[in-house]
Amino acid sequence: MKNVKVIEHPLLKHKLGYLRDKNTNSHEFRELVKEISRILAYEAMREWKLTETVSIETPIAKTTTDRIIHPPVVVSIMRAGNGMLDAVLSMIPISSAGYIGIYRDKFIHNTVEYYFKMPENIKGKEILLCDPLIATADTIVAAIDRLKQYDVGKIKVLSILASRIGLEKVLHFHPDVEIFTVNIEQEINESGYLVPGLGDAGDRLFQTK
């Protein structure tokens, strides 16, 4: 699928297996989400071109090195995205962070935004948008809609699992977005959960129901 990168790696498959396991406790679940998020961030930054060469001195000699400039803004789709945010920022500590609170209301059959906070001057800046799961894709499409109102630059989505129908929906409305994921799930059940999935990521991260 164009603009979707499924990251294949034995370590990721190993970690994903424990994420799926209903017997994995909340603390272990949080740590696994962080570990996987760091790898997703690594892959999303692989083609980064905005760098500058600076002079440094090692304990042995003078040399030059490349440093990232104009880093991406890391944005969490609350609340599950918060489980990924710190891990991604640990990989790109010079980045700033934004938050979008949005959910799909089952009664009005539409998305509801309850919080939106971004750093100043995000116009033209690349975005790493974090949400552990893409199921129906309604919330992530709405989040991308909002970000584009601010004329941001390239948007890359970091998601641990994504449904095929959800990916198709995202790319239908936003064909310029890139999506990095660990696995594509073929089914969504009647409640909107990925199958086999891993349950509700927010509940498992924060011990809520």
Residue 12 CB partners (closer than 8 Å, separation 6+): 36, 39, 182
Give φ, ψ of 131 to 5 degrees: -155, 120
Predicted structure pTM score: 0.93
How does residue 186 score in pLDDT terms, banded at 50, 70 and 90? very high
* Number of domains, the chain: 1
Mean pLDDT confidence for 183-205: 92
Q: What tens digit of pLDDT does each residue of 121-151 get?
A: 899 999 999 999 999 999 999 999 999 999 9
CATH of the domain at 127: 3.40.50.2020
The region, left, alpha or beta by phi > 0 then psi within -120 to 50, assigned to residue 192 is left
- Residue 56 in any domain: the answer is no
- Residue 61 in any domain: the answer is no
Q: What tens digit of pLDDT does each residue of 20-37 get?
A: 999 999 999 999 999 999
How does residue 192 score in pLDDT terms, banded at 50, 70 and 90? confident
The one-character DSSP state at 41 is: H
Residue 191 has pLDDT above 80, yes or no: yes
Half-sphere exposure of 137 (CA within 13 A, CB side): 20
Strand 73-78 with 62-68, pairing: unpaired
SS3 label, residue 194: strand
Q: Above pLDDT 90, what percent of the chain? A: 87
- Residue 87 in any domain: the answer is yes
Q: What tens digit of pLDDT does each residue of 77-116 get?
A: 998 999 999 999 999 999 999 999 998 776 666 788 999 9
What confidence score (pLDDT) does residue 156 get?
98
Alpha-carbon distance of 8 to 136, in angstroms, equals 23
Encoded tokens for 123: 């116009």
At residue 120's C-alpha, the angle toward residues 115 and 123, to 5°, is 100
**Residue ranges making up the domain that contains 19:** 4-48+72-206
Alpha-carbon distance of 69 to 46, in angstroms, equals 14
- Residue 59 in any domain: the answer is no
Residue 182 has pLDDT above 90, yes or no: yes
- Residue 194 in any domain: the answer is yes
What confidence score (pLDDT) does residue 26 get?
94
What confidence score (pLDDT) does residue 106 get?
67
What confidence score (pLDDT) does residue 25 get?
94
The answer to whether 29 and 15 have CB atoms below 8 angstroms apart is: no
* DSSP-H helix ranges across the chain: 10-20, 26-44, 82-91, 138-148, 164-173, 201-206
Alpha-carbon distance of 164 to 190, in angstroms, equals 15
- Residue 54 in any domain: the answer is no
- Residue 85 in any domain: the answer is yes
The answer to whether 33 and 160 have CB atoms below 8 angstroms apart is: yes
- Residue 157 in any domain: the answer is yes
Strand 97-105 with 110-117, pairing: antiparallel
